[in-house]
Amino acid sequence: MEQTGKKNIIGIMGGIASGKSTVAKALAARGCAVIDADQIAKEFLKKDEVKAQIRDEFGDGVFDNNGEIDNKKLADVVFSSPDMVKKINAVIHPMVLAQTQRLVEKYQKQPVKAIVLDMPLLTEVGWDARCDKLIFVQCDEKIRLKRAQKTGFLSENELKKRENLQISLDKKADMVQYRVENNDLSELTKQIEKLFPILIAKR
């Protein structure tokens, strides 16, 4: 999707807890604008009209005592089956993607080096096709699991269950032009330093 005079759009792919956001932050530190799809989704989930849709689809059980969406409870329900994933995506994805598009257009007019998409389901929603460059963040499964457990959010079973509902990591790794390894932060930083001029260069 090369466009003359426009900044490259860089998509980041990788498994859960592989460090996609760490890579995004490193690129932000080098002058890129980062669009965080998870953060956009969280903001929408605070809106009353979205809460009403979530209540209709998933019931009162995914809310806390204050009437706010409990992300852990919602995730437990959503990742129980492919149908539930489709339901949440139907509610939240159109809004997130529309906001992402607005931000892409905004950042294209600003003096940034490139636009980075930190979007967990980049391939699943077809936005990999909108990217000029794609990076895959490789990370040992044991390290990913340790990171996921550190947040207190995911067990090994939950991590595998979620990834089984997504396009396989092998397929994602085959789709990209660039790979970085994130088993060690200092090594990752060196790799990004070396790769950065290539990422922002026009093809």
Total domain count, the chain: 1
Residue 83 lies inside a defined structural domain of this protein: yes
Burial classification of residue 10, based on how many CB atoms lie within 10 Å of its CB (0-12 exposed, 13-18 middle, 19 or more buried): buried
- 93 has pLDDT over 80: yes
The answer to whether residue 87 is domain-embedded is: yes
The pLDDT-based confidence of 161 (bands split at 50, 70, 90) is confident
Q: Is residue 2 part of a domain?
A: no
131 vs 151 pLDDT, higher one: 131
- Give pLDDT, residue 149: 83
Query: Is the pLDDT assigned to residue 87 strictly greater than 80?
Result: yes
Reported confidence tier of residue 162, pLDDT bands at 50, 70, 90: confident
Half-sphere exposure (Cβ direction) of 107: Cα atoms closer than 13 Å: 22
What pLDDT score was predicted for residue 121? 85
The answer to whether residue 126 sits within a structural domain is: yes
Please report whether residue 4 resides in a domain: no
Judge whether 161 lies within some domain: yes
For residue 106, give its domain range.
9-200
The pTM assigned to this predicted structure is 0.89
Structural domain includes residue 80: yes
**What local confidence, expressed as pLDDT, does residue 120 receive?**
85
Cα separation, 101 vs 95, whole angstroms: 10
List the CATH number of the domain containing 179.
3.40.50.300
Percent pLDDT > 90 in the chain is 72
The reply to whether 165 falls in a domain is: yes
Q: Mean pLDDT lowest for which of 107-121, 140-154, 168-182?
A: 140-154
